[in-house]
A = this chain, B = another copy of it.
């Protein structure tokens, strides 16, 4: 749900997490306030193309390679694992790594959803440096990037990712427990579990229900880009909703007015399955329900919107917050 149409497929990641938990026992999910201030928190996940990631199997040992490198760089062992992105596959792979390492998983993440870039991290807004970025290909090869400037760190890390074949495992914005309490988005794992449960979407007013009547999508570049037009379901057939997408669904526009906008999470669900549909999988004629979740407060701040608002993605519209319909524990 928090993939917002992106973040990569969860199927393989879920199988891996279930297997790791079966072999190594359950993973403790620790709230931020239970993480010691001087603990070393390893924020981690897959870096690169979700499309390539879907076709790549992992040994599960990447977390140990990353943790060893972080421990060497910091001179202190990793105490807890954190997803840097809760949406999509990256909400699951760190579960596998935590299980195999015997470490707790912090109930937090760096995005509160899926975003395309390493720059879309709440830790960046809080001034935590991205460096050192540790990357591994899953065969034990590592690349460590250190740059004073996060933009340079991201550029160098993405080149290294390309040299690893387009996707790799990475640790970035690693920090202390005290820094995580200040900078990370709390409650993300609990929230993903809650949204994925039977009552996840229940009681939430959909943004739109209808059918895809036009798709304009280009998957040839580094990112999926385009738009989808939905026509309202029976009884509502005069309405049209346009979804703008770039890996994730970023804007929902009806009659020229913004109904929902990034950084709020826009999620398209199959009308019958109730399962999220990715920007890549959405097709002409699909009957869908569009829902949206409010972004964590960090993204609604001016500094957050500068990184993750509609204009940061090239849309000439202002951010219009959706109503916060449910009590939201996230910062």
Count copies of this chain in the complex: 2
Interface code A123-146, partner B: CB below 8 Å = 1, 0 otherwise?
000000000000000011111111
A21 interface residue (CB < 8 Å to B)? no
A159 on the interface (CB 8 Å rule)?
A: yes
- Say if the beta carbon of A292 comes within 8 Å of chain B: no
- Which of B142, B148, B149, B153 interacts with A145 by CB under 8 Å? B142
Q: Across the interface, do B145 and A156 meet the contact criterion of CB distance under 8 Å?
A: no
Q: Residue of B at shortest CB range from A149?
A: B141
Hey, which chain B residues are within 8 Å of A158, CB to CB?
Answer: 163
Residues of A within 8 A of B (CB): 139-149, 152-153, 155-156, 158-160, 162-164
Are B141 and A146 in touch, CB under 8 angstroms? yes
B163 touches A156 (CB 8 A): yes
A69 to chain B, nearest CB (A): 8
Expressed in whole angstroms, the Cα–Cα distance for A156 and B160 within the complex equals 7
| A164: B residues at CB distance < 8 A | 156
Known: A160-B159, A163-B156. A143 touches B143 (CB 8 A): yes
* Sampled A-B contacts (26; CB under 8 Å): A139-B148, A140-B147, A140-B148, A141-B146, A141-B147, A141-B149, A141-B152, A141-B153, A141-B156, A142-B145, A142-B146, A142-B147, A143-B143, A143-B145, A143-B156, A143-B160, A144-B144, A144-B145, A155-B163, A156-B160, A156-B163, A156-B164, A158-B163, A159-B160, A159-B163, A160-B163
Q: How far is the CA of A225 from the CA of B139 in the complex (A)?
A: 35
Bound Cα distance from A141 to B156, whole angstroms? 9
Contacts of A143 in B (CB 8 A): 143-146, 156, 160
In this complex, the member of A148, A149, A156 whose beta carbon has the largest number of chain B beta carbons within 10 angstroms is A156
Determine the distance from Cα of A218 to Cα of B274 in the docked complex, in whole angstroms. 59
